[in-house]
Chain A
Amino acid sequence: MSNTNPNSASWTDRHLDRDTLYRIGLYVVMYGIAIAFFVPYWRMFQLSVTPMSVITEGGFHWIPPEFTFAVWQRYLFEEPIIYQWTFNTFMIASITTLIVLVVDSMIAFSLTRLEWPGQSAVLGIIMASFMIPGYVNIIPLYTLVNNLGLMNSYWAIILPFAAGPLGVFLLVQFFRDIPEELEEAARLDGFSTLRIYARIILPLSTPILTALGLFVFIWSWNQFLWPLIVLNDDALYTLPIGVVTLRDVNALAPNIIMTSLALASLPLFIVFLLFQDKLISSVQMQAGTG
């Protein structure tokens, strides 16, 4: 290119111009999309502070002519129902995460560090279950949970999807790469199998366990269809189900609906703010499953 442009100064100028234009275009696109992405958040917040008098007048506002935090105050300090749902959701998501981390790491340890007949077949079956999306099974699962007497309990939500293939897949990959020598040295020191699992393998796997745990926690927190099926007692509702029932009784009060949605979203937003990089890398880690 420099051959066709012996005058290098003018070449640089033109080149810089194109680069500048390109950067301006890039900013316009990226911030344009960001603004579009922000609009639903703004509407959620804005409607939550708009008084009913303004809402019933109709019309469309970006910024409400008057605002009030009365609904926020009501659900933060006067009516405990959203706290109750948050507590349920938190308990279910925490127990699910704990169970998944324990049983997944145990079987991954067993499949990679211990030898027993049939283990490759077992791994094969677990991996094949990647092809069975949870929702297709809900009818027989429902009769099962009903027969076990688990309806309307935390366990009805926790147990059915605790044995997924993703965690096993990720941990098997990770455990395989932990050097054999560490384990042999520990065995010579008289470590039992349980201590090797708990004192050597688990501590070395903290990053992947954190990533998997975050992913499972968020997935469990946000579950919708299954809790909708197995819960019908509003004291046991999770946030995703609870906000829908609030919508149903307050259909004409968007300020109440939007406040409840904002409150329901806050906990995971805080988790996300605290663990932004960890969470994003937990998503990126999954692409390895393709």
Chain B
Amino acid sequence: MTNVEQSAIGGRTGAIREWLHQRSTREFLAGILFAGPYLALFTVFLLYPLLKGLYMSLFEWNFLNPAESTYVGLDNYARLLSDPAFWNALWNTLEFVLLTVPLIVVISLVLALGLNKELIGSRLLQFLYFSPYVLTVSVIALVWSRMFAQAGVGTQVLGWLFEGSPLNSELWAMPAIVIATVWWQAGFYFAVLLAARQNVPERLYQAARLDGASPWRMFRDITLPHMKNALLFVVIASTIFQFQVFGQPYLMTQGGPVGSTETLVMYLYQLGFETRELGFGAAVGYTLLLILVLVSLVNYKIVGTTDE
């Protein structure tokens, strides 16, 4: 709209109102056009499958001929709750999460606090700690399978604990997978915590040192409170991520020995893509979703109450 046109309609309030109206119409159209591509992908590949999954979970789903699926109501969920394989997978997943998350938090915190000091070679150290994060899970799993093979480093170092490879031990297979996972991911969280540590004002430590505070007290009363949000992020993000562990046990142990490393997403994968029980698998997917939403809500609640 040029100045000439504007002055031509100036004074006539009706026309101005119309112009305003037009402008908002155009903005509305532009808004929809700009939001459209994302919303189309979001609707087709996220919202629709989410509803479809709920629908499928109520059927004994026939993959080749969906029209011949049988409605079974909540039977899939009932079957799930009475399936020992589900409870085994849930328990193993919890074991994995409860071992991995604390290790990741402690190691990434130690690395972040250590590298916050001036060290010779700190760039090299940062490279070594962080680089496993750019590897894919299959590289992680296959390298560590070798590390824990009969003639592997892990087996040499931890040989006094068991005979042969830990991956063949019902007790030690899961800890072995945890170690591989920590190597893979500690660097990612280390980077997050390093940034948080660098944001703590240095003058607080100077003041505390003048007051003769011990390193432990400075850690407890300055470092930890200032890094609380970053630490909570690490706990929440890694918990949700670890809950979906799949590649490491799938490639390192195939869920064995005797199902001791079978996880929820592996269980879901087998139902969907090996035995093709899609309706039941969809019910497992939904149950996993509910568990994770619950975990997030509990976490957000903790964040919400401590943020005040």
Point out residues on A near B: beta carbons under 8 Å.
1, 22, 26-27, 29-31, 33-34, 37-40, 43-44, 47, 58-60, 102-104, 106-107, 109-111, 114-117, 119, 122, 126, 129-133, 135-144, 159-163, 168, 193, 197, 218, 221-225, 229, 239-241, 243-244, 247, 254, 257-258, 261, 264-265, 268-269, 271-272, 276, 279-281, 283-284, 286-287, 289-290
Contact = CB atoms under 8 A, between A and B. Distances in A.
A116 B26 CA distance: 10
Q: Which of A144, A224, A286 has the most CB of B within 10 A?
A: A224
- Interface size, B (range): 35 or more
B11 interface: no
Interface in B150-177: 151-153, 156
Contacts of A29: 110, 114
Contacts of B215: 22
B249 interface: no
A261 B192 contact: no
B288 interface: yes
Contact of A162 (B26, B27, B41, B133): B41
Chain B contact residues, majority secondary structure: helix
Nearest to B139: A261
B154 to A, nearest CB: 9
Contacts, number: 263
B136 interface: yes
Interface in B191-228: 191-192, 194-196, 212, 215
B89 to A, nearest CB: 13
Contacts of A138: 268-269, 272, 285
Interface in B29-60: 30-35, 37-39, 41-42, 44-46, 48-50, 52-53, 56
Contacts of A222: 134-137
Interface string B46-81: 101110110010000001001000000000000000
A60 B45 contact: no
Contacts of B119: 26-27, 30
B233 A224 contact: no
